[in-house]
Structure 1
């Protein structure tokens, strides 16, 4: 599928989600955006190993499995980002001394993989019925040397724009009200924040 944002940088590729595709997990979802597809499964709350037990909240584990081969450093980095996001929204204090595991299987990667994993994880958590402070979603964007924002880039565009030294790739996560651009966990001044409307094809600047 061609990147729709190549001509209209503020458009997202078509996306869809299916729930309860797997019978063994407590919750599952398949999220597709463009040609990028991720299958997510949630297990728990369940019994936890004594070595991982936390007395006042649930232990959260995230496993990201690539399409082929074993997980690399890139997958481990994404696992940490997804874990941090999910841990901030799941009410883990309601299930102390238990385990919650999120398994993400990459079916196909055509770009914006991390945001697709975040969206799949959120849908699977909702399907599992786990208590959450709010729902969340992710959007990947590329900012070029001119400050122009390209939403939802494909793998081809990520590599093409990645060859430009001043280009930056950011992943955004959205809570109830607004989202904040961040790279490697660093905060960004409010003027760089983005507020997304309900329409998936538009993005609005905001100082929320």
Structure 2
């Protein structure tokens, strides 16, 4: 839409887009370009959050979650998932369960690496990220890239479930530190 201002200059206005979704894209003055990879990660985070949030308790509410990458040294999707869960906990949002993200890389020799660095991700033949719930340690979401066998998939799920225990322990300790009266 083009509007003529009082001083005679043409001013271009962007249309403001609004849609009902959990994670909205920022509408600001700076350009924000998302590729296929970013949209896929956004969808994984959105669907995991929607699966654990008890949104029926607040039917006319809106929630905006903004995750900003400051530094990427690998395991980005699992970092997004962990940051989202901790943000929900900090906000006191009702959830059916907590969740965490765990990334596994399968090296060319078949070795499974948890929480791989960006270099290890590039050198791996497969990259698998899982969202694990805190109550039954079920897989809420999976995102995979590369080639792997069914046995390797099962091994990565088992390793991710074991690693999730440490992440949930970190959540507990973080909440205790934040809300402890002895600080």
> TM-score under structure 2 normalisation?
0.63
Between the aligned partners of 1:62 and 1:140, the Cα distance in structure 2 is: 25
Give 5+ residue unaligned stretches, structure 1: 1-48, 53-58, 162-166, 201-208
Between the aligned partners of 2:67 and 2:166, the Cα distance in structure 1 is: 27
Structure richer in strand, relative to its length: 1
Asked whether 1:80 is paired with 2:54, we answer no
What's the RMSD between the two structures over aligned residues?
2.8
Cα gap change, 1:78 to 1:159, in 2 (>3 Å)? same
Aligned to 2:126: 168
Question: Which of structures 1 and 2 has the bigger CA Rg?
Answer: 2
Asked whether 1:123 is paired with 2:81, we answer no
Greater length-normalized contact order (CA 8 Å, ≥ 6 residues apart)? 1
Partner-residue secondary structure (3-state), 1:104: coil
Aligned to 1:97: 60
Aligned to 2:111: 148
Give 1:148 shift. Answer: 2.2
- Flag as ranges the 4+ runs of structure 1 deviating above 4 A: 188-192
Asked whether 1:138 is paired with 2:101, we answer yes
Between the aligned partners of 1:99 and 1:90, the Cα distance in structure 2 is: 12
Give 1:179 shift. Answer: 4.2
